[in-house]
């Protein structure tokens, strides 16, 4: 009896010694995974805060854009005004050039006529002609003096008229040139303001994009790290399960050997009792053997759990897949994301978040291969984008039972599980139901 107890104790001790390191080896990756998820949560909070800052900056950007548009409209108007003034200047300059040519053609004869008037003593007439301030003034002076009636004064009168015209056109030309200079100065000032606003706009946009890109890169790094940790956990689970199965086989073999040894001892005792003529002793030995062994024991069996659970939620749900949430419930890309996306790799098992009945197991629109479970009380869950099924319509499944495998069917950009919780057919945030 003491020998059997020693052998059982030794087998149990060996089993515990082999299993404890396998279980303990999962602790560090699990802690690392939790720390990684905490960092992701903090980063996403920071991204949300920066998104609020981005919205404020975008308000300033919109204001700058409006100012730039107004400045550009004003500059375009000035460009049109500059073009008009330049056209006016060319027109006036052409008149000045024509008048100058006419003056040159009559200047010699007009000079001769002026000399003749001077010699005749009529210098007052010359003063009157050359002191006129406008063409109308000149005509009135000529009419009052009667010069038009005098002979040999026509070229002189024409010269006087041309002189008045060219002075008038030159004044107009100067005014147009001054207006052009002022307009160009206004345009230069607006261009400077436009350039400053554009520089500020570019700085604001760079401030927004740089911060968001930096956070997005960090988020991508954390997600990659999370997937790596997840793969390590799964590898450790597989190794632990394999080791546990091997140890179970060894324990079963040890149990069979112990049973065989006990049977041999019982046979020896029975034989000894029979040889002494004591049937009662043999019967007692047989009873002792039966009571100590309790009959043959089946070898323990082990299985690898597809999902590491940390306990159920207050609503009785567990996570259907181990992995980080890569896209939460809520508004996304101008629409409504009616569930959460959980990262995974093709072929990774998906389990029922709660016991229920399968009401759909097949292709379902953009969800691709999908399974829907009815949990009663108006609550159902949906599992989308599966690569393959492990259940069928009408089946009853228990919590934690594998119902399918991760994939990327339907409208999908990468391996993941799309998970929904619906109340009376209406999608709600699954995070309120998960532990």
Which string of DSSP letters, residue by residue, matches 292-322?
HH-SPPPPP-----SS------TTS---SS-
What pTM does this model have? 0.34
395 secondary structure, DSSP code = -
Continuous segment of H or E residues that includes residue 379: strand 379-386
Residue 123: per-residue pLDDT: 63
Closest C-alpha to 307, from 434, 171, 121: 434
337 secondary structure, DSSP code = E
Alpha-carbon distance of 18 to 354, in angstroms, equals 33
Closest C-alpha to 14, from 265, 233, 243: 243
Encoded tokens for 224? 């990659």
User: CB–CB of 209/87 below 8 Å?
Assistant: no
Encoded tokens for 160? 């006087």
User: Residue for token digits 């929904």?
Assistant: 420
CA angle 168, 174, 175 (to 5 degrees): 90
Alpha-carbon distance of 318 to 342, in angstroms, equals 13
User: CB–CB of 367/306 below 8 Å?
Assistant: no
User: CB–CB of 405/350 below 8 Å?
Assistant: yes
Q: Which of the residues in the chain have pLDDT under 70?
A: 1-30, 113-114, 117-118, 120-133, 135, 138-152, 156, 233, 237, 240, 261-311
Residue 269: per-residue pLDDT: 58
Closest C-alpha to 381, from 433, 427, 340, 422: 422
What would the CATH number be for the domain defined by 1-300? 1.10.287
How far apart, in Å, are the Cα atoms of 347 and each of 9, 396, 407, 408? 41, 22, 7, 10
Range list for CATH 1.10.287 in the chain:
1-300
Encoded tokens for 307? 């999902």
Residues in Cβ contact with 235 at an 8 Å cutoff, skipping those fewer than 6 apart: none
What would the CATH number be for the domain defined by 325-432? 2.70.70.10
Residues in Cβ contact with 251 at an 8 Å cutoff, skipping those fewer than 6 apart: 11, 14, 15, 299, 300
SS3 210: helix
Range list for CATH 2.70.70.10 in the chain:
325-432
Residue 225: per-residue pLDDT: 75
């Amino acid at each position: 009896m003491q020998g059997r107890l020693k052998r059982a104790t030794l087998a149990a001790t060996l089993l515990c010694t082999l299993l404890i390191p396998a279980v303990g080896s999962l602790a560090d990756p699990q802690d690392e995974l939790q720390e990684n998820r905490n960092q992701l949560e903090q980063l996403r909070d920071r991204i949300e805060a920066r998104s609020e800052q981005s919205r404020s900056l975008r308000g300033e950007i919109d204001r700058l854009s409006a100012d730039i548009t107004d400045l550009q409209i004003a500059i375009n108007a000035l460009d049109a005004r500059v073009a008009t003034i330049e056209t006016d200047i060319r027109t006036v300059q052409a008149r000045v050039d024509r008048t100058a040519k006419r003056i040159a053609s009559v200047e010699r004869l007009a000079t001769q006529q002026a000399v003749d008037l001077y010699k005749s003593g009529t210098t007052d007439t010359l003063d009157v002609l050359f002191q006129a301030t406008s063409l109308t003034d000149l005509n009135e002076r000529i009419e009052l003096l009667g010069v038009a009636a005098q002979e040999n004064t026509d070229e002189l009168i024409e010269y006087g008229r041309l002189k008045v015209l060219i002075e008038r056109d030159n004044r107009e030309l100067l005014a147009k040139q001054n207006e052009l200079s002022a307009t160009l100065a206004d345009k230069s000032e607006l261009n400077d303001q436009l350039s400053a606003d554009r520089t500020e706009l570019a700085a604001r946009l760079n401030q927004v994009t740089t911060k968001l890109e930096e956070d997005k890169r960090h988020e991508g790094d954390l997600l990659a790290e999370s997937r790596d940790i997840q793969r390590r956990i799964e590898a450790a689970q597989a190794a632990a399960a394999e080791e546990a199965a091997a140890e179970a086989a060894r324990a079963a073999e040890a149990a069979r050997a112990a049973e065989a040894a006990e049977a041999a001892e019982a046979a020896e005792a029975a034989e000894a009792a029979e040889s002494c003529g004591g049937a009662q002793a043999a019967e007692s030995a047989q009873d002792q053997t039966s009571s100590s062994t309790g009959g043959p024991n089946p070898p323990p069996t082990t299985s690898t759990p597809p999902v590491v659970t940390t306990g159920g939620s207050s609503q009785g749900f567990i996570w259907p897949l181990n992995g980080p949430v890569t896209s939460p419930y809520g508004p996304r890309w101008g629409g409504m994301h009616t569930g959460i996306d959980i990262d995974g790799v093709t072929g990774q098992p998906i389990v029922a978040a709660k016991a229920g009945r399968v009401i759909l197991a097949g292709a379902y629109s953009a969800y691709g291969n999908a399974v829907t479970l009815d949990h009663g009380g108006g609550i159902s869950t949906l599992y989308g984008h599966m690569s393959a099924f492990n259940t069928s319509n009408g089946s009853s499944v228990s919590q934690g039972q594998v119902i399918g495998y991760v994939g990327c069917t339907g409208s999908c950009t990468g391996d993941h599980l799309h998970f929904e919780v619906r109340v009376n057919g209406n999608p709600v945030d699954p995070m309120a139901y998960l532990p």
